[in-house]
Amino acid sequence: MDILNESIQQYAELHTSRESELLKKIDRDTHAKVMMPRMLSGHLQGKVLSMLSYMIKPKTILEIGTYTGYSALCLAEGLPQDGKLITLDINEELEERVRGYFDSTDLGKKIEYKIGDAATIIPTLNETFDLVFIDADKERYSFYFDLVISKVSAGGFILADNVLWSGKVLDKKPDKDTRAILEFNKKIQDDPRIENVLLPIRDGIMLMRKVSL
């Protein structure tokens, strides 16, 4: 998943502000006890999410794909006192664990954690979001984008994770998931409503700013 040289990745992390004790615990627990721990944002990407949130100063954040809660807590760091982050995940098996992490910190009071299909939940949300983070089923990235774009404030931001897909976006014979990522990346590049930059951080983050309604 990490496309950087491993030594460069380690050097970058050594020169990045440290994780909180809770984030360290989530990282350890996820790698020890949860399937597919590579889905965790981790130290470097988590700090990038935190920094972006601090810079954007969102009042409302939507996250599609909670996993074990690491990225939600990073994004929540930039919320104001009365801010809110709604995070959606379909995996109810992780719910007790994730709620425990959220309940152990004051940041958790700003997080509304919903279990269910994002495609069903998103249309019911009445909030306008200043920041959206898409990190769920890769085949539905384009669908999720279509669902949320009208709910993003003018000048608001959308982030999408894994848009380099372990470098497979360069494969001559891409598999199904890779084709979905390729289609999403082209869709974003061609959409006149947004400005975008693909950041080669970890597995690739597409950063988008909504410039028109």
Question: Structure tokens of 207?
Answer: 């950063």
Question: What pLDDT digit, counting tens, does each position of 146-187 carry?
Answer: 999 999 999 999 999 999 999 999 999 999 999 999 999 999
CA angle 209, 211, 212 (to 5 degrees): 135
Q: What domains does the chain contain, in order, with CATH numbers?
A: 6-210 (3.40.50.150)
Centroid of chain to Cα 141 = 12
Strand partners, 62: 86, 132
Question: What pLDDT digit, counting tens, does each position of 1-46 carry?
Answer: 566 788 988 999 999 999 999 999 999 999 999 989 888 999 999 9
Question: What pLDDT digit, counting tens, does each position of 114-153 carry?
Answer: 999 999 999 999 999 999 999 999 999 999 999 999 999 9
pLDDT of residue 80: 97
Which residue, 79, 86, 14, 72, is CA-closest to 43?
14
pLDDT of residue 44: 94
Calpha distance 80→38 (Å, rounded): 30
Strand partners, 85: 61, 111
- What's the mean pLDDT in 86-115? 97
